[in-house]
Chain A
């Protein structure tokens, strides 16, 4: 069973640039969520995708956008990067309909905005 994989693992951008982060869901999972984790904080929910449509969104501005593809892989795009966007971005997959709603997280993409 393949776990959740994310790329890139680390990247550095400058303020105002755009970034795309990628995630491959765990085999058999049809739902993907993205979280932002600042240093010393718990993860914060950005949004969730199910069947290629956004299915829930946290308190993040529209410059955070995403896609889910037919093979359930996903992208997180952030435009007009700000210094405060520096964080670990976690992708989590799950199977809609599972009893516990357990999330399976990837190792994350650490973004530094200079």
Chain B
């Protein structure tokens, strides 16, 4: 089985940096996804990590440690539009589109 744990809510200030953590347990690791979901909208893909380390993509970076069952999403230079839920997800198998999602972390960016 798979289990994912994320903080429920976080608040950060515009212009700051925030780190959203995700810890997971899985019997077979096939990568880890991060999705962003604005209220009332579809989830959109942010990142996919399969190897340990940090991957940077503009203001967003994602980190993975397979040995620790741990990932984080780092958001820099926060903007008001970054207020959203951030979902950590594991695929069910290699090439599987069956994702197990965490409950999501609702990030509120305040002025």
Contact = CB atoms under 8 A, between A and B. Distances in A.
Contact of B45 (A4, A102, A107): A102
A42 B103 contact: yes
A45 B102 CA distance: 12
A106 interface: yes
Interface string A52-93: 000010100000000000000000000000000000001010
A104 B48 CA distance: 14
A94 interface: yes
A42 to B, nearest CB: 3
B41 to A, nearest CB: 6
Interface of B: 4, 31, 33, 41-45, 48, 87, 89, 91-92, 95-104
Given A42-B89, A43-B101, A101-B95, 16 more contacts: A31-B97, A35-B101, A41-B104, A42-B102, A43-B43, A43-B99, A56-B97, A56-B98, A90-B42, A90-B43, A92-B97, A97-B95, A101-B96, A102-B33, A105-B43, A105-B44
Interface of A: 4, 31, 33, 35, 40-45, 48, 56, 58, 90, 92, 94, 96-97, 100-108
